[in-house]
Every structure is written in structure tokens, then in C-alpha cells.
A and B are shown apart, each in its own frame.
Chain A
Amino acid sequence: DAKTTQPPSMDCAEGRAANLPCNHSTISGNEYVYWYRQIHSQGPQYIIHGLKNNETNEMASLIITEDRKSSTLILPHATLRDTAVYYCIVRVFNDYKLSFGAGTTVTVRA
């Protein structure tokens, strides 16, 4: 019962910005958008989350459309170490369940 849709894969050039899209057209008013990533052979790593305002931290920026039906995770200067599967998840803030879908496999190329 996927609540998000992401492209299965994308390539990015090292040093360039990587823009990862996510559609969540059925998002509810009290649901946040979370992003995690999973580098090969490691556990998932939290990146960022937001409700409706754009958010930025040391890892990435999150841009959420005004209607909240889609969002974009931006890695400002992709490096080879950013190669990973990126997961976009929607959930109510105080719900502990993280429903991981298939994610987007991002490959950063030199």
C-alpha cells in the first residue's frame, strides 16, 4: 500500500546537484515527508523531514510543493559516497512506523 511514488533509478554527475523527486498525492494534512537513504550493506540513514515548508540541513534540502502532493530532495553537490537507495516516506509525526518502499537507486558517476 505505497503512499509514495519514486523513480526506480537515476544517475547524477559528481559535483552537480542531484534532484530526487517523490510523488505523494494522497498525503494527509498531518503527515510529514521523510527521506532516508541506504548505502550498500549498511542500515538506512535519516536525511531530512518536513511538513509544508522547505527545509535544509547539512546533508540536503527538501522542497515541498504548495499543494504538498510532491516533493524534491536536493543533494547540492553529489559525491561518489552519495551513491545509495533513497527512500521517500510519509507518516504522521508521532507514528513510529516507517513504511519503506522500493526507493530510488541513485548512482553518482565521476
Chain B
Amino acid sequence: ETGVTQTPRHLVMGMTNKKSLKCEQHLGHNAMYWYKQSAKKPLELMFVYSLEERVENNSVPSRFSPECPNSSHLFLHLHTLQPEDSALYLCASSQGLGTAEAFFGQGTRLTVV
């Protein structure tokens, strides 16, 4: 248990669906991150929030829409995804941007059909 909780753990959605991934941390951290891990590929940084402000949007398609309503919660809203978007989506948090240790959640395994 890392203190970063992601829900749901598994999600199957159709290409026309809209769904949201949720991440919650009660570690008192003020930076949160979304990563994508596709099969056979390294983790890719998608979005970074610091003090609820987005500081990184790593050329991610607009069908992925992040939201950070407060420092403890991070969402990833999904709509009209493609099968190639199927992956493990990981949330992480850290005390501040660039601190040594990032804490990761267990991820949401997303399958787009």
C-alpha cells in the first residue's frame, strides 16, 4: 500500500463510451502525475499537476482529459478512445515537483473494445 489509490482497477469500455479514472492520495503531496504503460513499451508521462495547476501536457490526444480539483484528487476523463489506448494507466504523487521519491498507485488496466 503506497498511499495512492486508483479506481477502478480494471475497466473495459467501448470506443463510444465516456469513462473516468480516479486517483486519490492522502500523503499531503502537492504534485500528481498520470503515466501510461502499454504492452512492451516503457512508461510514458502524460500529465503533471503541481498545486492543482497543469505543468505538463506531453502531446497527449484530446480524447484524454485530466482534471485536478484539489491536491488530493486527480482524474483522467476518457472519451472516444481507440483500441490502441488499451494500457495500464498509472497515477503517481510526490511531495513537490522533482522530489526524489514518487509514489505510484497500482494502476487501472484499461481495455478498449
Contact = CB atoms under 8 A, between A and B. Distances in A.
Contacts of B55: 96
A2 B103 CA distance: 23
B2 A43 contact: yes
Interface in A20-55: 32, 34, 41-46, 49
B101 interface: yes
Query: For chain B, which range describes its interface: under 10, 10 to 19, 20 to 34, or 35 or more residues?
Result: 20 to 34
Interface stretch (A11-19, A65-73, A76-84, A97-105): A97-105
Query: For chain A, which range describes its interface: under 10, 10 to 19, 20 to 34, or 35 or more residues?
Result: 20 to 34
Contacts, number: 53
A99 B91 CA distance: 15
Contacts of A49: 100
Contacts of A44: 43, 90, 92, 102, 104
B21 interface: no
Interface of A: 32, 34, 41-46, 49, 92-102
Instruction: Give me the 10 closest cross-chain CB pairs, A-B, nearest first.
Output: A43-B104, A94-B98, A100-B43, A46-B101, A96-B97, A96-B98, A100-B42, A43-B90, A44-B104, A49-B100
Interface of B: 2, 4, 31, 33, 42-43, 45, 48, 50, 55-56, 90-92, 94, 97-98, 100-107
